């Protein structure tokens, strides 16, 4: 089962179905501003084999978190925890208590960062690799032994968010973690990879890890809050 934003374009949904996945679509949450209202990484966090969700998500066999999401930062970040191997990266002043409990029980090392949109800001590639556009986050991850590809922060201007039901683009930019998702042995790009891949940095990064790239040439990049493969 793949967890996706219901606003994902049909061509992207069909591609995932062709690959054999069933889709669970997250619907609009009235408590949140539209841009992130159905983002996967706002509502869900995967830790080991467990999926923790906000109370409004009825996902099979998930752990229901205690935090009800609210409209403005930082009250919308409780589930936006980034997991890389046995590391958990987040602003732990605002992490859901069920997630905190699970991290303790599973002996995860917590890395505190001030950016509460932690999963949004980090595209996890494998158990020891990640992609970011924030140099401070890159330094913190590197100090903890994680292999980081730091991209020019200007590329986020090419990452879009929807601002209303007409799917017009918001004035806000999206995040790198919302457009790049690792699923099994491939990386799924929600749009045209070339729009953020200066000098083939990303393509080379993926190729070195023997990962197949699935992207959609000619389509704008849309931040859906990534994808979770449960």
- How many Å apart are CA 130 and CA 132, to the nearest integer? 7
pLDDT for res 18: 98
Residue 108 Cα distances to 2, 30, 89, 117, angstroms: 24, 32, 10, 19
Q: What is the mean pLDDT of residues 152-164?
A: 97
The predicted-structure confidence for 63-97, as pLDDT tens digits, reads as follows 999 999 999 999 999 999 999 999 999 999 999 99
State the pLDDT confidence band at 160, using cuts at 50, 70 and 90: very high
Bridge partners for 180 per DSSP: 189
Radius of gyration from C-alpha coordinates of the chain: 16
pLDDT for res 193: 98
* Residue 198: pLDDT over 90: no
* pTM score: 0.97
- For strand 228-229 and strand 2-5, is the pairing parallel, antiparallel, or unpaired? antiparallel
Read off the tokens for 53: 């969700």
Computed over every residue of the chain, the mean pLDDT equals: 97
- How many Å apart are CA 118 and CA 29, to the nearest integer? 20
Contact 29, 43 (CB under 8 A): yes
Domain boundaries, the chain: 2-229
The predicted-structure confidence for 9-49, as pLDDT tens digits, reads as follows 999 999 999 999 999 999 999 999 999 999 999 999 999 99
pLDDT for res 214: 98
Residue 206 host element (H or E): helix 201-208
pLDDT for res 6: 98
Contact 144, 187 (CB under 8 A): no
Looking at the domain that runs over 2-229, which CATH code has it been given?
3.75.10
Bridge partners for 214 per DSSP: 188
State the pLDDT confidence band at 130, using cuts at 50, 70 and 90: very high
Cα angle 91, 72, 75 (rounded to 5 degrees) comes to: 40
Contact 133, 176 (CB under 8 A): yes
């Amino acid at each position: 089962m793949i967890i996706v934003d219901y606003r994902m374009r049909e061509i992207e949904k069909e591609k995932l179905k062709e690959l054999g996945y069933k889709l669970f679509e997250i619907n609009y949450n009235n408590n949140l501003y539209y841009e992130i209202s159905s983002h996967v990484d706002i509502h869900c966090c995967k830790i080991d084999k467990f999926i923790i969700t906000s109370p409004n998500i009825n996902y099979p066999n998930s752990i229901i978190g205690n935090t009800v999401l609210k409209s403005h930062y930082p009250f919308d970040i409780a589930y936006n925890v980034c997991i890389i191997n046995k590391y958990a990266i987040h602003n732990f002043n605002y992490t859901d208590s069920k997630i905190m409990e699970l991290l303790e029980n599973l002996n995860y090392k917590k890395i505190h960062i001030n950016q509460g949109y932690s999963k949004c800001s980090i595209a996890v590639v494998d158990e020891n690799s990640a992609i970011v556009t924030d140099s401070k986050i890159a330094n913190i991850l590197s100090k903890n032994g994680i292999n980081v590809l730091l991209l020019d922060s200007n590329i986020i201007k090419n990452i879009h968010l929807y601002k209303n039901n007409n799917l017009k683009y918001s004035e806000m930019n999206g995040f790198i973690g919302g457009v790049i998702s690792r699923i099994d042995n491939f990386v799924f790009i929600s749009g045209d990879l070339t729009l953020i891949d200066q000098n083939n940095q990303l393509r080379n990064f993926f190729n070195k890890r023997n990962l197949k790239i699935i992207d959609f040439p000619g389509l704008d990049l849309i931040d859906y809050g990534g994808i979770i493969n449960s």
